[in-house]
């Protein structure tokens, strides 16, 4: 949603003594003069990982526009919803594995989460250079709208990032996928993609293809160019726990 122009909602301060990744501890009041995008995420939640490419692209595209000290500041706030994603070492490993270069605040006790009264993952909050909340979005989507506000704040008239997936287009015809399943699942499904959320280390076999896991994470197991009906055969080996099997939306088939 866009925040009404006459509503003054100041940016909450970052709680002291929380650990940071990729940067020395930041203070929100020291960010004055540059827009700040705060996103709450969890590396074991598929929607967070599907939104992550946009955060990375905005950091790369706008972080130094018009200069490194006045361009967009992107900050990912990690709040783990599973015991395995509350471990600091696991979070740091995930940040490196996922190629995240912008600042990450580790908020495993949900201190900043409560200050925002945040409802879930992912959720992003965009603040102006004066520290006023100007844009909010909960869940996936809304990427074009958020980027438009970023560009407005930066007075940027260069090339934008745009959409990174066809199904993210607000005008795209997308088919609702099979509902997510707690734990491992084998059987028929309809989706654009299938993900598994795992902890531990060992072998996971998807439709006869084996994958060796060495760390906790959410991994894309099956991908289709469009919404597809299929059958999933998921085998979880010793040493691995499957927390959830998730199905993501795909474009409606052209002949639908």
Question: In CATH, what number is assigned to the domain containing residue 77?
Answer: 3.40.30.10
Q: Distance between CA atoms of 223 and 221, rounded to whole angstroms? A: 7
Q: What is the DSSP letter of 238?
A: T
Domain extent at residue 48: 20-164
Query: Sign (positive/negative) of CA torsion 42, 248, 136, 116?
Result: negative
Do 42 and 88 have their domain in common? yes
What are 129-183's pLDDT values in tens digits?
Answer: 999 999 999 999 999 999 999 999 999 999 999 999 999 999 999 999 999 999 9
Residue that terminates a domain, selected from 114, 144, 164: 164
Q: What is the mean pLDDT of residues 217-237?
A: 97
**Confidence at residue 205, expressed as pLDDT on a 0 to 100 scale:** 98
Average pLDDT of the chain to the nearest whole number: 95
Q: Distance between CA atoms of 48 and 218, rounded to whole angstroms? A: 10
Do 181 and 98 have their domain in common? no
Structural element, H or E, at residue 251: strand 250-251
Query: Sign (positive/negative) of CA torsion 35, 76, 218, 114?
Result: negative
Domain count across the chain? 2
């Amino acid at each position: 949603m866009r925040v009404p122009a006459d509503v003054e909602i100041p940016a909450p301060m970052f709680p002291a003594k929380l650990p940071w990744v990729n940067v020395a501890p930041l203070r929100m009041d020291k960010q004055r003069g540059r827009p700040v995008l705060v996103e709450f995420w969890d590396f074991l939640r598929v929607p967070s990982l599907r939104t992550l490419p946009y955060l990375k692209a905005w950091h790369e595209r706008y972080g130094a526009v018009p200069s490194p000290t006045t361009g967009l500041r992107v900050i990912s706030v990690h709040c783990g919803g599973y015991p395995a994603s509350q471990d600091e070492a696991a979070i740091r490993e995930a940040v490196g594995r996922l190629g995240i270069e912008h600042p990450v605040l580790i908020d495993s006790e949900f201190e900043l989460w409560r200050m925002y009264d945040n409802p879930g993952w992912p959720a992003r909050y965009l603040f102006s250079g004066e520290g006023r909340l100007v844009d909010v979005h909960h869940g996936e989507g809304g990427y074009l709208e958020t980027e438009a506000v970023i560009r407005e704040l930066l007075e940027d008239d260069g090339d934008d990032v745009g959409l990174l997936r066809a199904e993210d287009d607000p005008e795209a015809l997308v088919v609702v996928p099979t509902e997510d399943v707690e734990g491992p699942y084998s059987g028929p499904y309809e989706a654009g993609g299938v993900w598994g959320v795992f902890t531990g280390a060992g072998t996971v076999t998807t439709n006869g293809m084996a994958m060796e896991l060495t760390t906790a994470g959410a991994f894309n197991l099956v991908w289709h160019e469009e919404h597809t009906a299929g059958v999933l055969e998921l085998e979880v080996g010793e040493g691995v726990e499957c927390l959830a099997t998730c199905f993501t939306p795909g474009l409606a088939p052209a002949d639908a």
